[in-house]
Each structure stands twice: as C-alpha cells, then as structure tokens.
Amino acid sequence: MHELKQLAKQILKESKNLPFSVYSSYKEQNIFSVPIVNPTLICVLDGCKELGGDRQKSCSTGEFIFLSNSPKIDMRNIPGDSEYFALLIEFECNDFDRLTPVRNKEEKYFTGDIDSTLELALHQFMEWSSSVPFDLWHIRRQEILQTLLYLGYQEVASFFELTSVSRKLYKIISENPAADLRVDMLASKLSMSESTLRRKLNSEGTSIKVIIDDIRLGLGLHLLQTTFEPVGRISERCGYKSQSRFSDKFKKSFGITPIELRKTRVNV
C-alpha cells in the first residue's frame, strides 16, 4: 500500500483536476450521517475506517469499502502509525452502463482486500487519469468496476439507483449546489408539476430540502477533507450566505464543526 500512497501524494502535487480524491488526517475523525450521493470506492492505504450503525464494520490498511449511493452512514477515521490516508473514487451513473443490473438493495456496502489485481488497476487508474482529458475518465472507472466483478464482487452491479426521481434531482442540483433553484424550476427540469414532484419524493422517503442539504453539506465535507480553503469560502461555494449558518448546519448533521474537522488534518 505504501507505493499506492506515495503515487497518490505525488500526483496530487502535480494536478488538482483529478478523478479521485484523497482524505487524510493526523487525528481521529468521528463524522455522523455522511450522505453518499454517488457510489464510492474507498481504499484505505494507511490507518483504519470504521462504519457505524447496528453492524459496525472495520476497514484497515490494505482493504477497501464500496458504498452504494443510498445510505447515510456514520464514519470513524483512525490514523495508523503516521496518519489516516484513503483513496476515494466516486462513480457516475453511466459508469454502470455495461453492468447487468442486480436487484439487491439490502446491502448498502461491501468490503474486501486490495489484492495485487486491484492494486494494479488502481495504480494504472491514477497514473493514466492524471494526463488525460475529463471526457475519458469514465473509461478507467468502468475498468475498476469490471475488475471488482472479475474478483467476485457481484454486489457492485446493484449499487446504483437509476430510475428514482430523487436520483435525478441529485444530479440536477449537484451541477450547481450554490444556485437558488426554486421548486417550480426543478419540477420543470423533470417535466412534472410541483405537486407531482413533491409526491414522488415523499413516496421515496425524502424531500427537496433534504436533498439540497445533503448535496451542499456533502460538498462542504468533501472540501474540508481535501482542501485548506477558508471555511467562509467553502460555505459560499456550498450556497450558504453566512459561515455561521453553514457551521451550525454542519455541526447538526455531522456532529463536528468545520473548524474541529479541519484541526484533525493538521500535524502538530
């Protein structure tokens, strides 16, 4: 895992526009109810990740966890000898086009070892994606999915909800989280009335407000984990008019303030 970790650090220094992210911390992080907007592969290269809930799962150095795009899940990131370091690859809807859908939504995630085959695929993914245009990134993401299938993880084919109205709304709002999108505008984009949109979302157990909060706060969490931008600037990018409003909602959702989370990423 050391080689993958060093490669990720090297590429991050050379380019910021990449199809993967790195989350690292020098202190333990406890984050509650993290929204997973898109299916995400998390490869732990140093330290340990624990998932909360009734069936707590631990994922240590050299292991991965693949999260579906439906749960909100508690996470605990625990540094190893030096730090917690994880590689994250977020997948999009069309990445799953070549997979035969498997209807099994009971499991919200699966875990496994980063064996030599997957390690090679990840290595090639990072090296290749740092030098090719955005329009080609999906090719390597699809290769990662096919590699997981080859290794026997058939669950990956069931990990994207394609048809729900809430998924479509997530995609629309995610394109510009800070925009002030009115309900009538969102309904129009989906070619339905406001009442129909609200009714369909209610039947799926969510609402426009919940979706907007998930997207904005999820973006804020991501930016706090991957950048050192001022918290005020992050709150603006997430569509909040004041830093205090952003911090209050962040604390209420995740159980930690933006400033407290940022301190875990500083080696002192």
User: Domain for residue 179, yes or no?
Assistant: yes
Is 268 a member of any domain?
no
Task: Let me know whether 136 and 169 are in one domain.
Answer: no
* Residue 255 and residue 199 share a domain: yes
Q: Are the CB atoms for 37 and 67 separated by under 8 Å?
A: no
Question: Burial level of 13, CB count in 10 A (0-12/13-18/19+)?
Answer: exposed
Q: Give mean pLDDT, residues 237-266.
A: 96
Q: Which CATH number characterizes residue 54's domain?
A: 2.60.120.280
Residues 121, 137: Cα–Cα separation, whole Å: 14
137 and 174 both lie in a single domain: no
Q: For residue 205, tell me if it sits in a domain.
A: yes
Q: Are 133 and 51 spatial neighbours (Cβ–Cβ below 8 Å)?
A: no
Whether 54 has a pLDDT exceeding 60, the answer reads no
* Number of domains comprising the chain: 2
Q: Are residues 179 and 94 in the same domain?
A: no
- 151-188 pLDDT, tens digit each: 999 888 877 655 688 888 998 999 999 998 889 999 99
Across 56-73, average pLDDT: 89
- More confident call, 71 vs 162: 71
Which CATH number does the domain housing residue 204 bear? 1.10.10.60
Instruction: Single out the residue of 21, 6, 27 nearest to residue 266, CA to CA.
Output: 27
Full residue range of the structural domain in which residue 192 is found: 165-263
151 shares its domain with 175: no
Q: Which residues contact 87 (CB under 8 A, 6 or more apart)?
A: 4, 8, 20, 21, 22, 42, 43, 45, 122, 126
Q: Which of 103, 137, 158 is the last residue of a domain?
A: 158
- Sequence letter at residue 201: L
pTM score, two decimals? 0.92
Q: Does residue 188 belong to any structural domain of this protein?
A: yes
The pairing of strands 29-35 and 72-78 is antiparallel
Q: Is residue 202 part of a domain?
A: yes
Count CB atoms within 10 A of the CB of residue 2. Answer: 9
27 and 131 both lie in a single domain: yes
- Looking at the fold, whether 84 and 61 belong to one and the same domain comes out as yes
Domain boundary among 158, 189, 221: 158
102 DSSP assignment: -
Predicted confidence (pLDDT) at residue 14 exceeds the cutoff of 90: no
Measured distance CA(69)–CA(163) in Å, rounded: 13
- State CA 17 to chain mean position distance: 16
Same domain, 27 and 103: yes
> Between 165-174 and 194-203, two packed helices, what is the crossing angle to 10 degrees?
110
Same domain, residue pair 213 and 127: no
Residue 89 domain-assigned (yes or no): yes
Q: Of 129, 158, 187, which residue is a domain's last?
A: 158
- For residue 34, report the phi and psi dihedrals to the nearest 5 degrees: -75, 120
Is 192 part of any domain?
Answer: yes
Cα 44 to Cα 50, 181, 197, 268: the distances in Å are: 11, 37, 39, 23
46: nearest Cα among 90, 6, 73, 91: 6
Q: What is the pLDDT of residue 97?
A: 81
Shared domain for 125 and 6, answered yes or no, is yes
Alpha carbons 70 and 208: distance in angstroms, whole number: 16
What is the pLDDT, as a whole number, of residue 134? 83
Judgement on whether residues 225 and 94 belong to the same structural domain of the protein: no
Rounded to the nearest 10 degrees, the angle between the axes of helix 208-226 and helix 194-203 is 70
Task: Judge whether residue 236 has pLDDT over 60.
Answer: yes
Say whether both 203 and 237 belong to one domain: yes
- Kindly write down the DSSP assignment for every residue of 136-189, as one continuous string: GHHHHHHHHHHHHHHTT-GGGGG----S-HHHHHHHHHHT-TTS---HHHHHHH
Model confidence at 74, pLDDT cuts 50, 70, 90, reads very high
Q: Does the residue 69 lie in any domain? A: yes
Q: What is the mean pLDDT of the chain?
A: 90
